[in-house]
Structure formats: C-alpha cells, structure tokens
Structure 1
Amino acid sequence: MKVFTVHEPPAPTEGSARFDRHAFVREGFSWAALFFPFLWLLWHRMWWVLFGWLAVAVATTLIAELIPGTEVAVGIFSVLFTLWFALEANELRRWSLEQKGWRMVGIAAGRDLVEAEQSFFRRQEHARPAAGPARVPSVNAGLAVRTVGVGEPVIGVFPHAN
C-alpha cells in the first residue's frame, strides 16, 4: 500500500475540471531521485532545490579537485548525500509546492497512483455538499464568551481587563 499526500493548486477552477491539476506526492524513498536527481528536479520544476543540489554537487567536485587526498572522503560524502536526497526528495517536493502556494488537501492510499487517485476523488465526490458552499466552523464555535469588567482578574496574557 502506497500513501500519497494530495495538493491543490493556488487557484483551483470550479466544476469537474477542478480536480485536473491536483498533485499526488508519494511518501517515502524516491528511486528516480536516487538515479536521476537532476532530471527528477527538472521534471518537477523544483528550481530552488535544483540550485541547492547543483551547489552541493559543484562544491564536492571542486573540493575533490583542489584539495589532494580528499577523493575518498568526497566520494563517501557524495554517496551519503545522494542517499539522503532520495530519502528527502518527496518532502522537498511538498515544500516546493507549498512555496508556490499549493495547499495539502488530503491523503490517499492505494496499490498504485491510479488507485490512490480514484479513492481520493471518490471520497471527494461523496463529501461534496448537495447545494451551496460548505460551512466552515468558526474557531470559537462552542466556546462561552464572558465579558469581564474593569478591575476583575483575567486568566491569560493580561493581568487585568482594560
């Protein structure tokens, strides 16, 4: 069973086309990011992460070329960095989507991406209200509000009501 986080674009359209642009980001290790990190970053248009990855790649190459005797240490670092990147690639993709204004709207699970998409959108259709927009509960819903007079102690940040 594979688990995906579902992200909605910043300005979703109404109607049936509203679900066309959702991004499903898989949890866990990314094999594509392990073997083809540069192409994986280009494919997902993760420009800031790409610049960071290139900076690390160039720095390790320069260190290996300019400082004699560091080839083994740089090689070990490169392998560890590549493994770390493959482990964190999908989390970096979530961060990149968040920076672009996308918001996480749910979680989906399935044997593959298609099954996860079907289960997520099926739940969305069943959760859709029959008429009118969904009512968003207030943050203060269910809380009793009490007016405090001047000089009466207040529990919280301020010692007295003004």
Structure 2
Amino acid sequence: MTSSYLVLTAPGGADTTHEKTRFIRDGFSVLGFMFPWIWLAVHRLWLYAIAAFLLQTIGGALMDQPGLWLVGLAVTFGTSLLVGFEGQNLRVRKLVSKGWQDEALISADRLDVAEEIYFSEIQTDLGDDTPLPSPQWDGGSRADRGTATSLGLFGFDGGR
C-alpha cells in the first residue's frame, strides 16, 4: 500500500547535508490512536496533549457513572480516533508555523524509498561549480519488456 510522505526543510533553507530535512508520513498513526496524549506529548504538541489528556480523563470518569458508559466510551474513542487521523497534520502545521518549508509530497511504499526519490532529484555540486556526475538510470529498452498480458488484460509495453 502506497503512502504519502511530506518533505519539510528547516527554516532558512536546507543545509548542505540535508540532516535537518524531515519526512513525515501523511496518514493514520496507530500509536497516536492507541496512546493519544502520550503521542502528542512525545511530538511536543503540548496544548493538544493536555486537551487529549483532559478529554480522556473526562471520558473515563463518565464511563464510571451509571447510564453514561456509552457517552464516556464515545468521548475517549473519539479523542483517540481524532489524534490517529489528524496527529501527523498537527505536527506538520506546527513545523510550518515555525518557518519550515513544505518542499515536496512523495508517494512511496516505505520511508527509505521516499528518501531515495527525494534526494535523487536534488542537484549536488562540489563547490567549484562542477556538478557531481549523476548516475545513469538505464530503464532498458522496450524490446526487453515482455509482451504478455496480465490476468487476461491488454499488455502494457509502453505503447498505445
């Protein structure tokens, strides 16, 4: 399953080694769902962590009251669900508000593939206006590709 990764660079532009460049997966956070206020606190989203803690505490207190068990469950589950779906977005918004630049959105299966895609497009140089040689990506010729169909469908050999 393909995920999307947001690429953020530090305020003032990316450094030469790109050590501060951050890749944040845009999607559901399982840990944010399971431990909402702890996950928010780990990512230094303090006000959201306090709000999630209070909502979870209120939900737990409501679950102890007779007849309000379902309401308490809805509050705690809703808080977990909200952090699971929107937690990564809160992280990105916090970094952008501090001056980080949203550089790219990359679709990839894993983080290392997203990093490889992003860094393969960056022009690097030696400092004396001589660019480093780029690797030659040889995708092979069209004759190397098979012409067999897949699952009874038309073959996709690069033509129409």
Distance 1:87 1:42, change over 3 A: same
Residue 124 (structure 1) aligns with:
122
Aligned-partner Cα distance in 2 for 1:73–1:49 = 21
- Structure 1 gaps of 5+ residues are 132-162
CA, structure 1 residues 43+25, in 2 after alignment: closer, same or farther (shift >3 Å)?
Answer: same
1:78 alignment partner in structure 2? 76
Distance 1:26 1:124 in 2: 20
Cα shift at 1:42: 3.0
SS at match of 1:124: coil
Could you list the structure 1 runs, at least 4 aligned residues long, displaced by more than 3 angstroms after superposition: 11-14, 61-65
Structure 2 CA distance, aligned partners of 1:72 and 1:47? 28
Q: Rg: which structure is higher?
A: 1
Number of residue-to-residue matches in the alignment: 125
**Counterpart residue number, 2:4:** 3
Q: What CA distance in whole angstroms lies between the structure 1 residues aligned with 2:47 and 2:99?
A: 15
Percentage of identical aligned residues: 22
> 1:102-154 CA distances to partner (integer Å, 9 max, x unpaired)?
2211112222001101111111237xxx95xxxxxxxxxxxxxxxxxxxxxxx
CA–CA separation in structure 2 for the residues paired with 1:50 and 1:36: 10
> Normalised by the size of structure 1, how large is the TM-score?
0.65
**Higher RCO structure, 1 or 2 (CA under 8 Å, sep 6+):** 1
SS at match of 2:38: helix
Query: In structure 1, what is the equivalent of residue 152 of structure 2?
Result: none
Counterpart mapping for 1:77-96 below 5 A: 77-96=75-94
For 1:125 and 1:2, the matched residues in 2 are separated by: 25
**Cα distance change, pair 13–23 in 1 and its aligned pair in 2 (3 A):** closer
**Structure 2, gaps ≥5 residues long:** 130-160
Pairwise CA RMSD? 2.4
1:25 aligned onto 2:28: no
CA distance in 2 between counterparts of 1:14 and 1:88 reads: 29
Please give the alpha-carbon distance, in whole angstroms, between the structure 2 residues aligned to 1:55 and 1:104.
32
